[in-house]
Every structure is written in C-alpha cells, then in structure tokens.
A and B are shown apart, each in its own frame.
Chain A
Amino acid sequence: MGVGNDSPMIRFYHVSKYYRKEVAALSEVTLRIQPRQFCFLTGPSGAGKSTFLKLIIREERPSQGQIIVNGRNLAAISGRQLPFFRRSIGVVFQDFRLIPTKTIYENVSLLLTIQGMPIGERKRRAFEALQWVGLQSRLKAFPEELSGGEQQRVAIARALINRPAILLADEPTGNLDPDLAYEIMKLFREVNAAGTTVVVATHDRQLIRDFGGRVILLDRGRLVDGGE
C-alpha cells in the first residue's frame, strides 16, 4: 500500500505519548509530511524528537491519537505485519548501529538476505547502494576498519538498500565533525531528490540553515513550529 499524490506520507493526528503518567514526551502533536518532502525535526534535548521517530516506525505506540504512515494506520498493524511495514522505512542512527562481526557488504545486504533474495541480486544491489555513498571499494572491510563518516555512509546505504519510501535519521551527524556532517547531509538531500521522503532529527542549527527545507520545531513534547 502507498499514498496518493495528495495524501500525506506521514500524518500525526492529536498524538500524545506519555512514558510516565505526568511526563509527556509528545503532547497533542498534529502534522502532515508530504511525499518527497525533506524535513528537519529539531528542538532541544528532551523535546521529543526521538520519540517522534520511534512512533513512526512503531517502536513505540502513542498513548493517544492516530498515526498514518505511507497510507497505513499504525494502530491497525499487527505484530506479524510490523516487520514488513518497517521494511518500507529506512532508519539511520547517530551511533550507526552496524553489526561489528559482519562485513560492510553483509551489513548493507542484511535486509535482502533475510528476505531470501538470491545472492547475485543481493550483491548487485549492495554494490549499487555502496556506490551511491562512495564506498563500493570497501565491501569486504569490517565496520571497525572504517572512519565514523564512512560508517555512517554504510548505515545510509543499508537504510536505502530496500528503496524505502521514507528515510528517518536520528541525529545522524551527532558523532561526526562538521565536514563529514556536511557530506552526510548532502547524501540525504540526494536521497530526497531521488523521491524519498526524508526526516532528519537534529539540534544542529547551522546544518538546518545551510540545507534549508521544512523545519518542524518541538519543545518539551509540543509542536512549536512547522506543523503544516
């Protein structure tokens, strides 16, 4: 299932999330993110950025409200369907989350492997994804042999291998120096230009200024700016 031209790719409707009774990680958030849109999600620490992303991949469930992602109501997705839903979303984290005991090729092609794709096709797609991020020569290396920036590029290649409709990035440049952060953001822009909806959570105002796009501002769980 996908979305029509006018339907939002992500829709939050009066969404709240409480971890404890009186502490709201998100409060009454209502917004739409259109297909092929590039968004920054920003705000100070504890604003609810990570919770927002976790709700989109249904790592967390909202305490109140409805979330529609790629045409699907997340509340209606069963536990069995959840892995298949997640395959339509690429996720990149600040700490890369590569498997240290697997090679770069194995890390990037992991989703294709568990889907049972033939090895020839896996190799071709992994090569393409790594070529996209400029690391096609490091197929056989292990993550620890790569720099932080290279590891993040591998993580992006892994997130893109299944050609997802949405790419979510949670502080993807948090562990990188400004030059590398810039390179990574350029990659996200290219991914977006190819038609993927991209949501980048960051508190780096300079990056937001340099790359522009829609900015969704959260503060203490409330949507302060950029809702529509």
Chain B
Amino acid sequence: MHLLRKALYFFSEGLVGLWRHKGLHLFAIFVVALSLFVLGFSRYVTGNVSRLLRSWEQNLEVRVFLDPDASEELRNSLEETLSAQPTIASAAYVSPEQALDVLATIAPSFATLAEELPENPLPPSFALRLEGPMDPAAVRETIRRIEREEGVDEVLFDWDWVNRLRTYTRFAAFVGWVLFATLGFAALFTVAAIMRILALSRRDEIAILHFIGATGLTVRGPFVAGGALLGLLAGGVSLVLLALGHWLLRRDAGEDALLLTWISGTPLPWAEQAILAAGGALMGAVGGAVSLGSAKSWGDKTRG
C-alpha cells in the first residue's frame, strides 16, 4: 500500500510536472518523437528491404533438366517424387516447346537460331519453387538427392545469387541494427538533455525536497515517472507519424505500384511498434534518472 502510494505520488507529480511546464514538455515530446520517428523509420526501411530480399530468395528457382529420352511414365514418377520433398513448394513441368517460348520472350535472337535447327535443342525440365524460409543445407541435400534420380540429366541452382542475397540481407539487418542502436543512443541523450533542462528549471524545488528530508528516490521518482510518461507520449506520436508516412506512401504509390508488393501492410510489425513505444518510455525514464545525476549536490548547496 505504501509502495502503491509512492508510485502514485511519482506518477501524479510527473504528470503535474508535465502539465505545469507545458511549453517545455511539448517541445521535449516533439524532439523525442522526432528522434523515435527517425529510429522507427530506419527500421521501416531496413525491415522492408530485408523483406524484399527474403522474398527474392524465396522466388529463386531450382531447374531440373531431364534426359530428353525420359519416358512420360518416368517423368510423372519424378514429378511425384519432387513434389513430396519437404523443401519444395511446387514442381512445374516445362516442356521443350514451353522452354522455347520462354527463350523467345527473353532472348529472341537465340530463339530464332534454335528454330532453325532440325529439332528443338532445349531439354524438358522441372521448375521447382522452394519452401521458404530457405535452409541452404537442406536445399543442397535435396539437390543432391534429385541428381541421383533416374531420368535427371542436370540440376541447376544459382548458389552465387543465393549467397549474394544472403550477404545483402545480413548487411541490411546489420545496418538496421546499427542505425537502431545509434539513433537509440542519440534519442536517449536527447531525452536526458531535455530532462536535465527540466530538472534545472525545477532546481529550487529539488533543493527544498532535499532539505525537508526527501530521499534520493523520492526526489528522482517524479522525474523518472515524468520522463517515462513523456517518452511514452513521444513514442505514440512517432508511431502516428510512421503510420501517416506509410499511408501516404501507399496512397501516392498507386494501386499497381511494384513498390507495394514488397512494402509491409503495417508500418512496423506490432511487436516492433510496442518496442518503440515501450522503448520511448524506457528512454524517458532513464533520461529522467540520469538528468538528476548531480541533484544531491543541488540539495546540499542550497543558499543561506
């Protein structure tokens, strides 16, 4: 009960402090919200880039070329075998004629050359889509197994491209976290600096609290609670700004824009939104606590 009363005192004082220094706190909320917005936006960009890279990875195709003399029976059996593999999402048969049509679309001169030959030189094949997220070791094992199947001539998979995509994805995630950490620290210092200004504006009050016998916790508590409330509000504002930016981007990109295929439905995953808001509160609380680093000396050096 005593603790509850203390907590209530901290939060009510924190709230009263916010209200009584409205101008300064509004400015603080604006600055902190901006910092958190930049932080959230960096996650928005890197998160979507990672998402795009992952989707590309999932669209990668394994091509299984068949022996041109493979019977239809053998082909059907192979299709069943391929479809049963857990790492394979789908297996589509591509006949030599369909392969030629595709070639005609992507490289017309080669297609003309092929048509001039006595017979279609392109072999029948299966186009396999992988089950995502991709596990390279499992895919490697699957490919090895397919290569041993009767009627299979060759299996092609662009490991270079996979490795490159993996590197890009890791790099995007790394950049995202570096940005997140850097901007997080910047936001923390901003909060601490603002809370310091607020504390300085209330230094007489702090000195009074010290000489009437307030403990360090009691003096610090309202600043920590006020900082947490400020951070929470700023976190909320930054989420609103992110949602607004996300909505504007989707609205202005147009219904058929390629952009929309890789931008997520929400500005940030819900968990990250909660982290941003809670992180704002935590930063505010830490900023509030740090801002009174020398509060004891303020109390001990009262005039007289």
Give chain A's interface residues, CB within 8 Å of chain B.
50, 53-54, 57, 59-60, 79-80, 83-87, 91, 93, 95, 97-99, 101, 110-111, 113-114, 116, 118, 158, 162, 170
- Give the distance in Å from the alpha carbon of A66 to the alpha carbon of B291 in the complex: 35
Beyond A54-B304, A59-B300, A170-B304, whether A110 also contacts B9 by CB under 8 A is: no
Chain B's nearest CB lies how many Å from the CB of A45? 13
How many B residues face the partner with a CB closer than 8 A? 24
| Residue from A57, A95, A114 in contact with B9 in the complex, judged by beta carbons closer than 8 Å | A114
Chain B 170-210, CB-CB to A under 8 Å as 1, else 0, gives 00000000000000000000000000000000001101111
Contact, CB under 8 Å: A91 / B211: yes
Chain B 23-60, CB-CB to A under 8 Å as 1, else 0, gives 00000000000000000000000000000000000000
Shortest Cβ-Cβ A-B pairs, 3 listed: A87-B213, A86-B213, A50-B304
Given A79-B296, A83-B215, A84-B213: 20 more A-B contacts, CB < 8 Å: A57-B211, A59-B302, A59-B304, A60-B300, A80-B215, A83-B213, A83-B216, A84-B215, A85-B213, A87-B212, A87-B213, A97-B204, A101-B20, A110-B209, A111-B213, A114-B9, A114-B214, A116-B2, A116-B5, A116-B6
A116 contacts across to B, CB distance below 8 A: 2, 5-6, 9
- Give the distance in Å from the alpha carbon of A87 to the alpha carbon of B213 in the complex: 5
Residue in A closest to B6 when the chains form the complex, CB atoms: A116
> What does DSSP make chain B's interface, helix, strand, loop or mixed?
helix
A60 contacts across to B, CB distance below 8 A: 300
Give chain B's interface residues, CB within 8 Å of chain A.
2, 5-6, 9, 16, 20, 204-205, 207-216, 218, 296, 300, 302-304
Residue in A closest to B207 when the chains form the complex, CB atoms: A97
- Give the distance in Å from the alpha carbon of A211 to the alpha carbon of B296 in the complex: 37
A93 contacts across to B, CB distance below 8 A: 304
- What are 14 pairs between A and B in contact, CB < 8 Å? A50-B304, A59-B211, A59-B300, A59-B302, A79-B296, A97-B208, A99-B205, A101-B20, A110-B208, A111-B213, A111-B214, A113-B9, A114-B214, A116-B2
Chain B's nearest CB lies how many Å from the CB of A62? 14
Chain A's nearest CB lies how many Å from the CB of B170? 49
- Give the distance in Å from the alpha carbon of A43 to the alpha carbon of B205 in the complex: 30
